[in-house]
Structure 1
Amino acid sequence: APHTTMGLRQCLTLLYVTAAHSWAACARGTSTRTLATVLVASRARPLFAVFSGIVEEIGRVAVMEKRRDLSLWDGTIGEGWQMQVEASTVLEGAYLGCSIAVNGVCLTVTEFDETHFSVGVAPETLRLTNLNGIAAGAPINLERALAADGRNSGHYVQGHVDDVGVIEAMTPDGEALTVRVRPPARLMPYIVAKGFIAVDGTSLTVCNSNAEEGWFDFMLVSYTQSKIILPKKSVGDMVNLEVDAMAKYVERSMSSLLERMHVLETKLEEQEARLREA
């Protein structure tokens, strides 16, 4: 392999990629030698969609329409929603099938030219995100997927939006802007002060989180305000939310551990009871 100098974040990215594809390779019976070859060859192109939450540009919806002439997997013709987006930066290096985060939603490019790209929008995406009802002319946050050795100045964003939240307040604080959001109650356990959250695909640090009242807030410095769409929104508008995936994994692991501890505790209590009776 060529000699390279990588920082900690880049190494972690490669480890993340390696782990994910090792699991996939095992499932397919792919050899580790083949996997290593793929990893080296793909350093300039993402193996799978991981984003940083650092918005690259604000694009604009050119067309959002329901198509009735889409070719389906079985050769028949069906219907579905398609979005065409006007962009520039994220089209650099674009290819059919590449992933672009649109307001934090990982979508697959189906067509593109020098000024536009098109993506299909699935029913689940429309149910869970603010792309439902978006109209031509609307500004949108755009980001390309990270390359395996790319820099990550935000946090690992999957582009799998959990749900939408509602903006409750937007309060200027000097040159900064504090934004308070009310998420669905089921997401509050994953939102903690000083933790990560992606809002419309933007990697942000939670300032305060109030589980009892059901809200969290974050602060946008002036530079960030000029690079994303959020300051253009108003109280009552919806934002896409993706909580830090690590919090979900920790909860799953801890839940399993607590279940095993409960079983062990029950067995110990039963053993103590038998010893007292003896």
Structure 2
Amino acid sequence: MRLSMYTGIVQGLEKVVNIQQGDHFTTLYISNENHFFDDIFIGASVAIDGTCLTATGYDTVLNMVSFDVSSLTTSLTTLQFLNIGDEVNVERSIKAGMENGGHNIYGHIEGMATIKDVLHTGETVHIDLVIPDENIKYFFKKGFIGLQGCSLTVNRVDRKSNEIAVDLIPETLRLTTFKHAQIGGKLNYEIDQMTRTMVDTLESIHQRLHCLVLK
């Protein structure tokens, strides 16, 4: 089984050229205006808004790439809200020997976080997010989160309100769709797998010890 990996350092933006509905799947057609896909091949893995998708076609005349998206993936991600003309974050999968300037991201989206607040301070942006209750345990201050394909540092965690916060620098805003972030909007989020493993392992050990004590 092939496991694709990304760095969370988004390369830039492309646009949705067309959307076609199939039988329990959707085909997205993404532009190649910035030449991210000049060497694309059928079967290549690309993170679109943080979601790992497989290239299923490349039209050299119209200069666009197609990706088939399952109904399950669509239901879990912001891809369901895309319209023709919308911008998407793009990252090609990392190759052996390349620098990983972010953290290990796999494009396996957990679900969607809701934007609670957006605060502009100078050229930077602070975003408060609400994480689904069952997953807030996986986030820690100064830990990692994948948001719309971007590797970001968690700067605040409030477990009572299921909130976390991230801060965005001008370069991140320039290269991504975060420049359009609005209160009430949805963002794809991916849990850091090392953190998930640590939390789940400690929970399992705690449960076993608790059972031993009860005996």
**TM-score, with normalisation over the residues of structure 1?**
0.72
Partner of 2:163: 215
The amino acid that maps onto 2:29 is Q
1:47-126 alignment runs, 5 A limit: 48-67=3-22, 78=23, 80-87=25-32, 88-114=34-60, 115-126=63-74
1:77-226 alignment runs, 5 A limit: 78=23, 80-87=25-32, 88-114=34-60, 115-226=63-174
Range that drifts further, 137-146 or 239-248: 239-248
Distance, in Å, in 2 between the alignment partners of 1:84 and 1:93 is 16
Shift of 1:222: 1.1
Shift of 1:253: 1.5
Moved over 4 A (4+): none
Give the CA RMSD over aligned residues: 1.6
Q: Contact conserved, 1:49 with 1:158, CA < 8 A, in 2?
A: yes
Shift of 1:255: 2.4
More strand by share: 2
Structure 1: runs of 5+ lacking an equivalent: 1-23, 25-46, 68-77, 268-278
**TM-score, with normalisation over the residues of structure 2?**
0.92
Distance, in Å, in 2 between the alignment partners of 1:201 and 1:224 is 11
Distance, in Å, in 2 between the alignment partners of 1:81 and 1:176 is 35
Per-residue CA deviation, residues 182-240 of structure 1 (Å, 9 max, x unaligned), is 12111211111111001111110011111112211111111111111011121111111
The amino acid that maps onto 2:53 is L
The amino acid that maps onto 1:103 is D
1:83 alignment partner, SS class: strand
Partner of 2:178: 230
Partner of 1:274: none
Greater RCO (CA < 8 Å, at least 6 residues apart): 2
Over 3 Å counting, the alpha-carbon distance change for 1:214 and 1:262 in structure 2 is: closer
